[in-house]
Structure 1
Amino acid sequence: MTRPLVITDCDEVLMHMVVPFAQWVDEEHGVIFRMEDTSFANALKRKECGTPLEAAEVWPLLDGFFRTEMGRQTPIPGALEAMAAIAGHADIVVLTNVGPDHQQTRADQLAALGLAAPVIGSRGGKGEPVRRLIDEREPSVAIFIDDLANHHMSVAAEAPQVWRLHMVGEPAIADKVPPARHAHARIDGWTAALEWILARLAENIPAPDPELV
């Protein structure tokens, strides 16, 4: 077995995203972002009339933000310090759904802040890329951190031995997001999250098989 592995999302886990994104779409596109439930798409409405954007209009806005506006993003409090502490006990991989086109920009963004970890720019469910990482690295224990419930469900299906931490580090939306049913814990602040992660790494055992619990 190799070194423990922590696989972490970026937006709303390491970096603030929805707040700078909301500022940008307001300023540049006449769109208001106001999250009232768990639907990101439904949160985007035209300023002039209040009608929601069509689903096909959402990704081009996200793509535009990641292409030119990552400089607006700032770290979630405690995130980079936590990553530095974790690096003493485990390898770190950033698995982010910005897609391959923005993978290098995201790696550069994090490296400039002192986090020189490998970055995978994926699309869709994160279960398969997590399983591939587990197969390649064979860690003694692995932890997955993400703000979206669907990714916890995907990882639970593809790599159930991975510990799953649900974190929504952006206070502006944290209370709109219920705990992910397929996560082992929900912690939104890095002080408590680091304690939980280090405890799992110290135990150094895979997550329990839900069928055997």
Structure 2
Amino acid sequence: MNKPLIITDCDEVLLRMVVHFRDWLGEEHGVDLDLTRGWAEGMRRRGADEPMKVADMWTLLDGFFDTQMGRQDPIPGAVEAMAALSDHAEIVVLTNLPHHRQNDRVRQLRGIGIDVPVYCNQGPKGPALQKIMVERGEGRPAVFIDDLAIHIGSVAEVAPHVSRLHFVGEPGVAPHTTCALEAGHAHARIDQWAEAVPWLMQRIGASE
């Protein structure tokens, strides 16, 4: 395929996740999640002064994806953005979920009208992105979109020629997220799809 390649994250880019995780923690587990803090630091059992142990955090996160993916709804404008961009680019999703959740994520995205290949990954996304580009064909413009600065930085290190958009679609989280643009790892920080689409069109050499 000769179209440019867009490799995008899912949670907080295409789908809202953290607010649903927060609500489920409170409803089912008596755990409060402060979205202004980091995950482990922001999670506390009600009545406890100490943050939750990291191992317990991961157990609860696994439990959410085991049973609650149906709660997730689209980031405003995401479905329309993917439809508009798909006329000009090949789109794939690179999500940090275990590989056994790949089919669940594919079905989840299809359910909201986003039917694209899904790659699962663990850890920094730079190496995974590089493998995707080799598999799907190099030598064409490529853009990476993610809500976490660590993954933007990983791609900047491994594939510096790839355009990088730092996008945090959840307004309760965006103001408290470390900005990859400030570190020089992102080419832009945009948190609204209405603003992101024109920027992405320009990066892939297309017009709306």
- TM bin, normalised by shorter chain, reads over 0.9
The match for 2:191 is 188
Q: Report the secondary structure of 1:171's partner residue.
A: coil
2:49, 2:176 → 1: CA distance? Answer: 20
The alignment status of 1:45 with 2:48, answered yes or no, reads no
Q: Which moved more, 1:176-185 or 1:109-118?
A: 176-185
Once the 2 structures are TM-superposed, how far is the Cα of residue 139 of structure 1 from its aligned partner?
Answer: 4.7
Q: Report the secondary structure of 2:172's partner residue.
A: helix
- The total of aligned residue pairs comes to 203
The match for 1:206 is none
1:163, 1:60 → 2: CA distance? Answer: 34
The alignment status of 1:197 with 2:196, answered yes or no, reads no
1:177, 1:143 → 2: CA distance? Answer: 21
2:162, 2:51 → 1: CA distance? Answer: 37
5 Å-filtered alignment, 1:15-94, equals: 15-37=15-37, 39-94=38-93
Once the 2 structures are TM-superposed, how far is the Cα of residue 62 of structure 1 from its aligned partner?
Answer: 1.0
TM norm structure 1: 0.91
Letter in 1 for 2:66: R
2:4, 2:205 → 1: CA distance? Answer: 10
The match for 1:209 is none
% identical equivalent positions: 50
For residues 3-56 of structure 1, the C-alpha deviation after alignment (integer angstroms, 9 at most, x for no partner) is 21000000000011110000001111111010233x221111111224210011
2:93, 2:174 → 1: CA distance? Answer: 21
For residues 56-110 of structure 1, the C-alpha deviation after alignment (integer angstroms, 9 at most, x for no partner) is 1111111111111011111000001000001000101000001212111011000
The match for 2:157 is 157
C-alpha change, 1:114 and 1:139, in structure 2 (3 Å) is farther
Once the 2 structures are TM-superposed, how far is the Cα of residue 178 of structure 1 from its aligned partner?
Answer: 3.0
Letter in 2 for 1:23: D
Q: Report the secondary structure of 1:131's partner residue.
A: helix
C-alpha change, 1:101 and 1:149, in structure 2 (3 Å) is same
The match for 1:211 is none
CA RMSD of aligned residues (A): 1.4
The alignment status of 1:11 with 2:14, answered yes or no, reads no
1:171, 1:4 → 2: CA distance? Answer: 29
1:48, 1:83 → 2: CA distance? Answer: 43
Once the 2 structures are TM-superposed, how far is the Cα of residue 135 of structure 1 from its aligned partner?
Answer: 1.7
1:50, 1:191 → 2: CA distance? Answer: 41
| Gap runs ≥5 in structure 2 | none
The match for 1:131 is 130
The match for 1:176 is 176
For residues 137-163 of structure 1, the C-alpha deviation after alignment (integer angstroms, 9 at most, x for no partner) is 215100000000000111111111110
